[in-house]
A and B are shown apart, each in its own frame.
Chain A
Amino acid sequence: MDGTIDVGGTGQSEALSDVMQKIAEHKGCGTSGGSGKASCGSGAGQGDLPTEIWEKVKNHPCYSEEAHHHYARMHVAVAPACNIQCNYCNRKYDCANESRPGVVSEKLSPEQAAKKVLAVASTIPQMTVLGIAGPGDPLANPEKTFKTFELIARTAPDIKLCLSTNGLALPDHVDTIAGFNVDHVTITINMVDPEVGAKIYPWVFWKHKRYTGVEAAKLLTDRQLQGLEMLTERGILCKVNSVMIPGVNDKHLVEVNKAVKSRGAFLHNIMPLISSPEHGTVFGLTGQRGPTAQELKALQDACEGEMNMMRHCRQCRADAVGLLGEDRSAEFTTDKIMAMEVNYDLDSRKAYQEKVEEERQAKVAAKQEELASLAGEASDIKLLIAVATKGSGLINEHFGHAKEFQVYELSTSGAKFVGHRRVDLYCQGGYGEEDSLETIIRAINDCHAVFVAKIGGCPKADLIKAGIEPVDQYAHEFIEKSAITWFKDYLGKVKSGEIEHTVRGDAEIRQGGLMAPAAAA
């Protein structure tokens, strides 16, 4: 599969096979040039991506890191049933703040989902993507999933359709997926070795039978990889999600990365295990820990030489609405959308998105300009900074209001987005209120500086004490341009001996999926 794709006899159109060829050949991406994959696929701009693929990903917040600052997505929870059991999932989880299929207001019929999509698209013109991601598996609910796609394709033809599946039923539905012009499919692949899989999946349900142990994992991995190949043969862009479970599959994910890359996957998203005892998952109850920020980044970096890595995933819920770092689902409950006057205007959506493109181009231009001024610098120093942002690629959030910080790695190659840290926590699980400033410091402890629009005197002093420099002089300016300017200044100070460069410690990854604050009421 690597390099050349035989599309002969598959009935694919010439154009499709061309695109497929380009995806397959597109593997040298970012291997030259210092900033690596930051320029590619999930990165800052078109870079060396073929135009056809860039057109597919440029407005998709999950497939393009750069797009996620500007474009929003939504999930509709039309698919409650699942066909496998995972040790990191608990379908009975009933924390009042968590959505689950049993909560009727969140479970939608395809008709309700189509109405919701129109309501959201009218309210949030930068919403470009509709995904079905559960809360079970979309392909374990094929009628509901495809009915939803059918309704949306008819009423909102400019919205990209995508789905996220565990892959067990995928080979049976590839033609239907292609028929609905779904051009983005995510498969969660946590292993390619059934022995590893047996530690993650207690069972799978396939062809009227529950399989367990290694047999179950073998079945699942065979079906996942087969489904992936079938999709990429049809020119459908595939993202692979993997949950990093320290001691179970962390080292093995390098093998997974190679296996999915060789089958034409476009993007690999390695996510930290979410596991707290109060979630009631097998891993939560057995004390299986998730990775630290450094462990996660090291694995992502190790796989990056092989293919594009997604680092901006927020592990959102099956009914999330908005930019990836926010969740506006509480504005669009079933009651509210049914009462909404929906005015779906394709032209005004287009006009709005053109504005977004202008804003985006300005940002890229500013970054390029600043980057050019770094060209003469030579230093081995690499460090992380945290940024408080509300989106649009700007430093436009107050320190105290930030629900998350975006993390950029600075080096003489520029500023590269490498992750984000949540600092809100919807459910303390009975552990009581923590000091929020301490929480924030633990979450960004590996960063040298935190860029904010504004910050109070008290937290400022505590941050400095913790060794993190609060930076507020770039308020409402572009993130990357400002970061590079600051970094040049930092290098200058190190050179002159004014400051000494030290290596920071590790940071904590907060547990819990992204929540709508209003839903917690």
Chain B
Amino acid sequence: MALKIIASQCTSCSACEPECPNVAIFEKNGTFVIDPKKCTECIGHFDAPQCAAVCPVDDTCVIDTSYPRYQPPA
């Protein structure tokens, strides 16, 4: 799985963008989005997903269940 940003909730404050260890976050059409191919849920980097930890709006950076669980390399 990866995280996604609920566009209708995003204030476009950009706080998440520099925190992402995978450079998976970018601005698109006025809000920020996460590239699911790059997102590792911060596994191996930090204890918690950084985008969700810094986001000022609750429940905006959430797990995207339409993607398979992220598998850290062995």
Contact = CB atoms under 8 A, between A and B. Distances in A.
Contact of A102 (B12, B15, B46, B54): B12
- B interface, over-half SS: loop
Pick the 5 closest A-B CB pairs, nearest first.
A81-B15, A91-B56, A210-B53, A80-B13, A102-B12
B22 interface: no
A210 B51 CA distance: 11
Interface string A86-101: 0000011000000011
Contacts of A210: 48, 53-54
Given A82-B56, A209-B48, A209-B53, A102 B30 contact: yes
Nearest to A142: B18
A485 interface: no
Interface residues of B, number: 19
Nearest to A94: B11
Contacts of B46: 208-209
Given A82-B13, A208-B19, 18 more contacts: A83-B54, A91-B56, A92-B9, A92-B11, A92-B56, A101-B12, A101-B13, A102-B10, A102-B12, A104-B12, A107-B12, A135-B13, A141-B14, A205-B15, A208-B50, A209-B47, A209-B53, A210-B48
Contacts of A107: 12
Nearest to A80: B13
Interface in B15-74: 15, 18-19, 30-31, 46-48, 50, 53-54, 56-57
Contacts of A101: 11-14
- A interface, over-half SS: loop
Interface string A201-228: 0000100111000000000000000000
B8 to A, nearest CB: 10
Contacts of A76: none
Contacts, number: 57
Given A104-B30, A208-B19, A136 B13 contact: yes
Interface of B: 9-15, 18-19, 30-31, 46-48, 50, 53-54, 56-57
B53 A85 contact: no
A85 B19 contact: no
- Interface size bracket, A side: 20 to 34
Contacts of B10: 102
A140 interface: yes
Nearest to A81: B15
Contacts of B56: 82, 85, 91-92
25 contacts: A80-B11, A80-B12, A80-B13, A80-B14, A80-B15, A81-B15, A81-B18, A81-B54, A82-B15, A83-B54, A85-B56, A91-B56, A92-B9, A92-B57, A100-B11, A101-B12, A101-B13, A102-B11, A102-B12, A104-B30, A135-B13, A140-B15, A209-B47, A209-B53, A210-B48
B25 to A, nearest CB: 12
B56 to A, nearest CB: 4
A92 B59 CA distance: 12
Contact of A91 (B11, B18, B30): B11
B30 A81 contact: no
B59 to A, nearest CB: 11
Nearest to B9: A92
A108 to B, nearest CB: 12
A92 B9 CA distance: 7
B21 to A, nearest CB: 9
Contacts of A83: 15, 54
